[in-house]
Amino acid sequence: MNAPYLSVVIPAYNEERRLPFSLQRIHDYLERKAESYEVVIVDDGSTDNTVDCVRALGDSRVALVHNEANRGKGYSVRRGMLTARGAYRLMCDADLSTPIEEAERLLAAVKAGADVAIGSRAARGARIEQHQPWYRENVGRLFNLAVRMIAVSGISDTQCGFKLFSGRVAEEVFALSKVNGFCFDVEALFLARRRGYRIAEVPVVWRNDVATRVTPFKGARAFLDLLRIRVGAHLGRYGAGGSRPSG
């Protein structure tokens, strides 16, 4: 079986209500394109009918990966990226806070020479149609400052859940990644930068979903994970860094 042009990887935990609508929107958009695609749903131990909703689709282009227990968003995205077969691999959230149509901008950035293209709510030209509560936005700004100081400099928004990797880069980066929680985005970008890959920050449309599952505890843990990433690199847990691989 030939590998698809694009893989869309969606981590899902108790998404029986939002996922069917989102999958239909993704399907409608990608059907208008001439390229082949697949959607990889990684169910993170849901306790609702998420798995049944996906299986009921009976669509050969939708692959279901099921975690027997809740392992975390980072674990699920990593598993999805390594299961996917696409020449390009897009991670997005089940709620489509960034509309799937914005994939066109990320694909254009990669075709222009980037190895990784990330959706950004902070880049010039981004449009936020529904903001987070003020306290979440302020914590987000503080976290982004910490990210730039500790792990990945020069990127203003590492946490938008809309990122595109070439297949080769996805396999290299996520084979090395270890963070299972919400700081996995930072780790992936840290590893891509460490291996010399080019990262493009692309302005996107974004709207907050009030049903977010980022709790204060998980947010606090993300700050600790930043330190774990830096210490882990110092201790050699990610292997040797180096220049961009050739070929």
Q: What are the structure tokens assigned to 19, written together?
A: 């996922």
Among 46, 201, 29, 183, smallest CA distance to 110 is for 201
- Output 146-150 pairs: Cβ under 8 A, ≥24 positions apart: 146/223, 146/226, 147/186, 147/226, 150/226, 150/227, 150/229, 150/230
DSSP 64-115: EEEESS---HHHHHHHHHHH---SEEEE--TT-SS-GGGHHHHHHHHHTT-S
The pLDDT, as a whole number, for residue 166 is 97
Spatial neighbors of 18 by CB under 8 A, at least 6 apart, are: 94, 95, 211
| pLDDT score, position 140 | 79
Question: What is the per-residue pLDDT for 247?
Answer: 41
For residues 117 and 192, is the Cβ–Cβ distance under 8 A? no
Centre a 10 Å sphere on the Cβ of residue 210 and count the other Cβ atoms it contains. Answer: 8
Between CA 164 and CA 109 the distance in angstroms is 10
Query: What is the spatial distance between Cα 121 and Cα 109, in angstroms, rounded to a whole number?
Result: 16
For the chain, which domains are there? 6-234 (3.90.550.10)
**192 contacts: CB under 8 Å, gap ≥ 6:** 115, 116, 165, 169, 173, 199
- For residue 109, which of 166, 191, 192, 156 has the smallest C-alpha distance? 166
- Tokens representing 122? 């902070």
- The pLDDT of residue 187 is 97
Q: Give pLDDT, residue 72.
A: 95
pLDDT at residue 246, rounded to an integer: 46
Classify each residue of 156-186 as buried b or exposed e, where b means 16 or more C-beta atoms within 10 Å of its C-beta: bbbbbbbbbbbbebbebbbebbbbbbbbbbb
Task: Provide CB contacts within 8 A for 93, sequence distance 6+.
Answer: 10, 11, 161, 162, 209
pLDDT in tens for each of the 247 residues of the chain? 689 999 999 999 999 999 999 999 999 999 999 799 999 999 999 999 999 999 998 888 999 999 999 999 999 999 999 999 999 999 999 999 999 999 999 999 999 999 999 999 999 999 998 877 777 777 878 888 889 899 999 999 999 999 999 999 999 999 999 999 989 999 999 999 999 999 999 999 999 876 555 555 566 788 899 999 999 999 999 987 665 654 4
Return the DSSP state at 198: -
Which amino acid, one-letter code, is at 121?
A: R
**What are phi and psi for residue 166, nearest 5 degrees?**
-65, 155
